[in-house]
């Protein structure tokens, strides 16, 4: 079964809006694990707009699965990751003014720097993934800098305005998954995935894990985190069954 990583950043977004101690992403992460999440993702941004260092430290002490730490490839963040030693680090592009990550990392344009970053994280026994657009040149660059995992940016698929554009973006992702697998790279995917569009991504042969946050946290406000995670897992299961049967969802 394809795995689900739950991103709890936006639990912290609500907390930081009032500067209180609640809602606590640590608690919601535990509930997500109890409902079947196989990893917890947090993005420690340079401006600390939601997740704080305290959250990362406590999650590492309390979660039962894996912590996937998303971060920019800066000296400060790499040093913190080497101190924290999460199971996984996903390097992402980051701009202060953006609401959320807007695209994939330009690995090809920053290879020398990323080689050093990947080497340093790997020496700390951290598995490194790169958040990239589903493009062959970025896949080849990711492999060249030593990343064992890529996470494909699914935002253009998720935000497509027409069925035809969505189909085209889905085909790009499918081709990219095949290319990555041929090069021996493990494939994850995420960004913009929700209950109405996740099945087609979960149906792609070769994707091992999806990282989803906003849609799950939004539904949790209405039905609770346990139900929100289980509903997403069910949507993914339907897509995965379609993968096994060869039927397009």
Q: Which of 10, 33, 43, 135 is catalytic?
A: 43
Model confidence pLDDT, tens digit, residues 124-146: 999 999 999 999 999 999 999 99
Round to whole Å and give the CA distance between 79 and 101: 22
Determine the structural domain holding residue 229 and report its residue range: 3-244
Query: What pLDDT is recorded for position 59?
Result: 98
User: CA of 84: how far to CAs of 6, 22, 50, 56, 181, in Å?
Assistant: 19, 23, 18, 8, 30
Give the pLDDT score at 103: 82
Dihedral over alpha carbons 168, 228, 37, 206 (to 10 degrees):
-20
pLDDT tens-place string over residues 152-176:
999 999 999 999 999 999 999 999 9
Residue 140 burial by Cβ neighbours in a 10 Å radius (0-12, 13-18, 19+): middle
Per-residue pLDDT reduced to its tens digit, 24-76: 999 999 999 999 999 999 999 999 999 999 999 999 999 999 999 999 999 99
Query: For the segment 111-127, what is each residue's pLDDT rounded down to a tens digit?
Result: 999 999 999 999 999 99
Give me the mean pLDDT over the 83-91 stretch: 98
Q: Which of 22-31, 145-154, 202-211, 237-246 has the lowest mean pLDDT?
A: 237-246
Catalytic residue among 33, 70, 94, 169: 70
Tell me, what's the pLDDT at 228? 98
Residue 195 within any structural domain of the chain:
yes
Confidence class of residue 245 from pLDDT cuts 50, 70 and 90? confident
Contact 207, 1 (CB under 8 A): no
The pLDDT confidence band at residue 243, using thresholds 50, 70 and 90, is confident
Average pLDDT over the chain, rounded to whole?
95
pLDDT confidence bin for 22, thresholds 50/70/90: very high
Q: Count the domains in the chain.
A: 1
Is 74 among the domain residues? yes
Q: Is 179 helix (H, G, I), strand (E, B) or coil?
A: helix
In a domain, 18, yes or no: yes
pLDDT at 244: 80
Q: Is residue 249 part of a domain?
A: no
Of 246 and 29, the structure prediction assigns the larger pLDDT to: 29
Give the closest residue to 150 by CA, choosing from 197, 207, 225.
207
Instruction: Output the domain CATH number for residue 236.
Output: 3.20.20.70
76 is catalytic: no
- Is residue 100 very low, low, confident or very high in pLDDT (cuts 50, 70, 90)? low
Mean pLDDT across the stretch 186-215? 97
Quick one: pLDDT band at residue 249, thresholds 50, 70, 90?
Answer: low
Task: Categorize the per-residue pLDDT at 210 as very low, low, confident or very high, splitting at 50, 70 and 90.
Answer: very high
pLDDT higher than threshold 80 for residue 247: no
Percent of the chain at pLDDT > 70 equals 95
Please list, in sequence order, all residues whose beta carbon lies within 8 angstroms of the beta carbon of residue 64, skipping any fewer than 6 positions away. Answer: 33
pTM for this prediction: 0.94
Residue 196 designated active-site: no
pLDDT at 98 exceeding the cut of 80: no
Of 113, 117, 120, 180, residue with least CA distance to 149: 180
Tell me if residue 43 is catalytic.
Answer: yes
């Amino acid at each position: 079964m394809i795995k689900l990583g739950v991103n709890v950043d936006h639990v912290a977004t609500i907390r930081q809006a009032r500067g209180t101690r609640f809602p606590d992403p640590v608690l919601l992460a535990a509930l997500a694990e109890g409902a079947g999440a196989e990893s917890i993702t947090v993005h420690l941004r340079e401006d600390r707009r939601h997740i704080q260092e305290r959250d990362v430290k406590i999650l590492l002490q309390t979660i039962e699965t894996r912590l996937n730490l998303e971060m920019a490839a800066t000296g400060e963040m790499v040093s913190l990751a080497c101190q924290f030693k999460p199971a996984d680090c996903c390097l992402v592009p980051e701009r202060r003014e953006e609401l959320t990550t807007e695209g994939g990392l330009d690995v090809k344009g920053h290879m020398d720097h990323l080689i050093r970053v990947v080497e340093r994280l790997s020496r700390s026994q951290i598995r490194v993934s790169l958040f990239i657009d589903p493009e062959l040149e970025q896949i080849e660059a990711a492999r060249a800098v030593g990343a064992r995992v890529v996470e494909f940016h699914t935002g253009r698929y998720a935000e497509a305005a027409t069925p035809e554009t969505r189909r085209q973006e889905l085909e790009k992702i499918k081709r990219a998954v095949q290319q990555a697998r041929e090069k021996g790279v493990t494939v994850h995917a995420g960004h913009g995935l929700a209950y109405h569009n996740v099945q087609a991504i979960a149906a792609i042969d070769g994707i091992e894990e999806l990282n989803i946050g906003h849609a799950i946290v939004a539904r949790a406000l209405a039905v609770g985190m346990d139900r929100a995670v289980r509903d997403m897992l069910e949507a993914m299961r339907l897509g995965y069954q379609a993968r096994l049967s060869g039927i397009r969802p």
